[in-house]
Homo-oligomer: A and B are copies of this chain.
Amino acid sequence: MAVTLGELAVRLGCELQGDPATVVDSVATLANAHPRAISFLANPRYRAQLTDTRAAAVIVDARAAAGCPVAALIAANPYATFARIAQILYPRRAETPGIHPSAVIDPTARIDPSAHIAPLAVIGARASVAARAVVGPHCVVGEDSSIGADTVLVARVTLCAGVKLGERDIMHPGVVLGSDGFGFAADRGAFIKVPQVGAVRIGNDVEIGSNTTIDRGAIEDTVIGDGVKLDNQIQIGHAVRIGAHTAIAGCTGISGSTQIGARCQIGGAVAINGHLTIADDVYISGASSITHSITTPGVYSSCIPAEDMRTWRKLVARFKRLGAVWERLAALERATGVSGHEEQGEEDE
């Protein structure tokens, strides 16, 4: 879609430095922009690229505006303004209302006439699909599930029985919501399945990435708050609760019954144990292991950056011989009469 800079400035409440009649029709990076593209400068490390950009316009903050060699849209939060402009330039296609003849719909399901049901979708008994919702190709909507207004299941999303989605949610391909949690009682060398009778409830404005899985609760529900953003291949165990506006990057796993606060940001490949409580506003760096509850907002990590293999092998060998360090320190302290700082009982910790 093509739009003038003047219209963008008005719609987004930005100051415009340049010709309001200039038309843009696409977004681009500063380095690879072409003359009908709009770009943005949010990260100062890309400032050098501003000088040479061939974009029609750049979204910048007030400090960077003076150095902008082309038209500038001046915004307090250039990246957020860029996101809004990209939404204008690349509007989500409105799917045509109606049910594809190849879809298999239970007669007791309720489908809003404005909803779009794509080829080969399967919708179970008593399920409901609200206004303007999209159920993409190959989706399975289990019985008693409900999909709120304007929610999009892109393709091949599976909702098991009784999953409740909010409004304006986006579910990417391969997402599975409401499969049984991992609940077994050990009994004389074998496992007895514990029926998983809780549901899954998803708030509004939630986006869930490809092949992410969220189990139903064992007894109580698994609950994802409003505005939560989950990346691809995340695993959420039974009865987990995630607070509003928390974002989690790919490949992270959260074990059952853990509660994550609001506005948290959790990196990729993080492993979080079960039955923990993570406070609001906690940041966890990628590849960390969380084995205890976190009660204080802040940044947490247990990620160890890689080294070249020769260096790394020495580090691991020394790490595994740390006991000898304590022994040698103690021997030196005894021999020299210097008093050490060692607390009691370190060997038994």
Identify the A interface with B (CB < 8 A): 26-29, 32, 77, 79-80, 82-84, 86-87, 89-90, 92, 100, 102, 104, 118-120, 122, 136-138, 140, 142, 154-156, 158, 160, 170, 172-174, 176, 179-180, 182-187, 189-195, 197, 205, 207, 209-211, 213, 215, 219-220, 227, 229, 231-233, 235, 237, 245, 247, 249-251, 253, 255, 263, 268-269, 271, 273, 284-292, 296, 298-309, 312-329, 331-333, 335-338, 340-342, 346-347, 349
A320 CA to B349 CA in the complex, in Å? 11
Task: Count copies of this chain in the complex.
Answer: 3
B104 touches A102 (CB 8 A): yes
B137 touches A137 (CB 8 A): no
B80 touches A210 (CB 8 A): no
- A339's closest neighbor in chain B, by CB? B331
Sample 23 A-B pairs with CB under 8 A, ordered by A number: A79-B185, A80-B185, A82-B194, A83-B195, A104-B120, A119-B122, A122-B138, A155-B158, A172-B179, A173-B176, A179-B232, A190-B245, A191-B247, A211-B233, A213-B232, A251-B253, A285-B309, A289-B303, A313-B349, A318-B326, A324-B342, A327-B341, A336-B336
A327 CA to B314 CA in the complex, in Å? 14
A185 touches B303 (CB 8 A): no
B306 touches A194 (CB 8 A): no
A92 CA to B193 CA in the complex, in Å? 12
- Choose among B154, B237, B320 the residue that contacts A315 (Cβ–Cβ < 8 A): B320
Minimal beta-carbon separation of A140 from chain B (angstroms): 5
Q: Which residues of B contact A322 (CB under 8 A)?
A: 315, 318-319
- A234's closest neighbor in chain B, by CB? B233
